[in-house]
């Protein structure tokens, strides 16, 4: 009987569980294939987590260099692994990172997908066939001196560091856009409100400057997180004891990683603690949630200030970006701020996911880092994109409704608060009631009753006094 024909379209790989048939052209191997079968969950692959894959490429390249320096990897293997890892960093192999973002095993499927892609690409670089692991092995060579438990959290921190810097940059641009509007609106008086009721005068510029300062404060908090993300456990291997890795390897791998990425990573002092503790992910999640919720509040204000135009506040005009209704002609909705609101809602939910996953870890490892990383990367990326769109398609085009604001200030009784140091609370309150009853102007009532000298009244009602930019008049 003749031997069965070999199908060139497929190759067979074997692990401790048995054999598996793979597409011959696939850079991934049997571990990845099993993960594809086990975790068809979200339909979103790790290949779409660009910064995470970039970070893994850097880690594998740094490990290859450190292993070669320690005499643990022949130079020809190290060079091939480094070249393949660089291609991973350069996004040349993203389509081959096919496992689902949500997976059991604390990220083992992700680490093995990376190991197998780099191994098979390195074999190709050496002129050998994919799957010829006797020559260059995903575990024995690409993963030498490593474990999922030190590579995955290290890659996660690197990815979050890069994404957080990008978010801070975008937040700063949005802050600058609000500051530009604050300067443009600095001369425009309006009524400030508390509990949605008229309170005291302010300028529209003060309102927008407060938005800008809020963003600046949140950006400062996010920048403070970067140093926490630079503490990594690379070289800790399984649980932090460093088994299968030497201390000299760990120092060299971390040094190489800092050089390759430009991120000033350092080795954690207690590797057991660093391997089991996911507190930094909760810290990042909490600060990102805070920034998202505060930006959402700003968007609530923009929607309210632009409401109407006839039956609402109508103090500002948001740029119209699309028709707002399929039934009401001419209606335009604040769709960009509404989009930001929804991003914030999603980020708040993601923070709950991170919190629950952090709490659910046991003993020396948290098995739920993949869902934490997925939630965090998505939150940061969505908030950055939302900030960009809010800036470009909304804030930069906001206009003030100066005629309406001027008319409202002329009619407003909110200036009475400036008179209370001069007249007292009770008399000031009676003047408000009389003005409401008669429709008279507050300043006219004060003048008619000769309650203040004209110069006193003028100083009290001066815009600089009303808005807090000048000295308050002393009692007369």
Q: Which residues are catalytic?
A: 325
> What is the DSSP secondary structure assignment for residue 474, as one 8-state letter?
P
User: Quick one: 213 exposed, middle or buried, by C-beta within 10 A (0-12, 13-18, 19+)?
Assistant: middle
What Rg, from alpha-carbon coordinates, does the chain have?
31
CA atoms of 346 and 296, how far apart (whole Å):
11
| CA-to-CA dists, residue 5 to 13, 15, 26, 321, angstroms | 17, 23, 21, 62
What is the spatial distance between Cα 352 and Cα 360, in angstroms, rounded to a whole number? 12
Residue 309: cis peptide before it, omega within 30 degrees of 0: yes
CB atoms within 10 A of CB 425: 12
**What number of H helices and E strands is found in the chain?**
18, 8
H-assigned helices in 241-396: 247-261, 271-276, 279-305, 335-359, 369-393
What is the three-state SS of 79-141? HHHHHHHHHHHCCCCHHHCCCECCCCCCCHHHHHHHHHHHHHHHHHHCCCCCCCCCCCCHHHH
**Residue in the structure block whose two tokens are 């002329």:** 410
Separation CA 400–CA 316 (nearest Å): 4
Among candidate residues 246, 276, 252, 202, the one with its CA nearest the CA of residue 64: 252
By the 8 A CB rule, do 28 and 98 touch? yes
Of the candidates 390, 422, 432, which has an alpha carbon nearest to the alpha carbon of residue 301? 390
Question: Under DSSP, is residue 387 helix (H, G, I), strand (E, B) or coil?
Answer: helix
Q: Which of 239, 227, 243, 225 is nearest to 270 (CA)?
A: 239
DSSP SS3 for 307: coil
- Which residues lie below 8 Å from residue 292, measured CB to CB, with a gap of 6+? 343, 344, 347, 348, 379, 383
């Amino acid at each position: 009987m003749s031997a069965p024909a070999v199908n060139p379209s497929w190759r067979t790989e074997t692990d401790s569980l048995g054999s598996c048939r793979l597409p011959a052209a696939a850079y991934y191997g049997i571990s990845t294939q099993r993960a594809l079968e086990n975790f068809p969950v979200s339909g979103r692959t790790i290949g779409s987590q660009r910064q995470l894959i970039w970070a893994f490429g850097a880690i594998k390249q740094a490990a290859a260099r450190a292993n070669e320096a320690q005499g643990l990897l022949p130079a020809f293997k190290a060079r091939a692994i480094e070249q393949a890892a660089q291609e991973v960093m350069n996004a040349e192999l993203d389509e081959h990172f096919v496992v689902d973002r949500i997976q059991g095993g604390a990220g083992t499927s992700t680490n093995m997908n990376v190991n197998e892609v780099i191994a098979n690409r390195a074999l190709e670089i050496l002129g050998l066939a994919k799957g010829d692991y006797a020559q260059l092995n995903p575990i024995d060579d690409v993963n030498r001196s490593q474990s999922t438990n030190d590579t995955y959290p290290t890659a996660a921190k690197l990815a979050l560091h890069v994404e957080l810097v990008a978010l801070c940059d975008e937040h700063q641009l949005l802050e600058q856009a609000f500051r530009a509007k604050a300067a443009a609106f600095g001369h425009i008086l309006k009524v400030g409100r508390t509990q949605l009721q008229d309170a005291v005068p302010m300028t529209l510029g003060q309102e927008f400057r407060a938005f800008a300062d809020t963003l600046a404060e949140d950006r400062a908090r996010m920048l403070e997180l970067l140093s926490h993300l630079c503490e990594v456990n690379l070289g800790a291997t399984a649980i932090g004891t460093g088994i299968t890795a030497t201390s000299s390897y760990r120092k060299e791998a971390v040094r190489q990683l800092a050089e390759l990425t430009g991120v000033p990573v350092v080795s954690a002092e207690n590797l057991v603690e660093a391997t089991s503790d996911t507190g930094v992910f909760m810290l990042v999640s909490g600060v990102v949630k805070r920034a998202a919720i505060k930006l959402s509040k700003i968007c609530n204000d923009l929607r309210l200030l632009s409401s109407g135009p006839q039956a609402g506040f109508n103090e500002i005009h948001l740029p119209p970006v699309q028709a707002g209704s399929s039934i009401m002609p001419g209606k335009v909705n604040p769709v960009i701020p509404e989009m930001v609101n929804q991003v914030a809602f999603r980020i708040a939910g993601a923070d709950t996911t991170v919190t629950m996953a952090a709490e659910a870890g046991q003993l020396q490892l948290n098995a739920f880092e993949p869902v934490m990383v997925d939630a965090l990367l998505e939150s940061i990326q969505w908030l950055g994109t939302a900030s960009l769109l809010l800036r470009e398609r909304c804030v930069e085009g906001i206009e003030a409704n100066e005629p309406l604001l001027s008319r409202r200030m002329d009619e407003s009784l909110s200036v009475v608060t400036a008179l209370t140091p001069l007249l007292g609370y009770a008399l000031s309150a009676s003047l408000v009631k009389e003005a409401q009853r008669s429709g008279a102007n507050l300043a006219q009532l004060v003048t008619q009753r000769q309650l203040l000298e004209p110069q006193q009244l003028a100083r009290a009602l001066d815009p600089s006094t009303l808005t807090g930019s000048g000295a308050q008049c002393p009692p007369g």
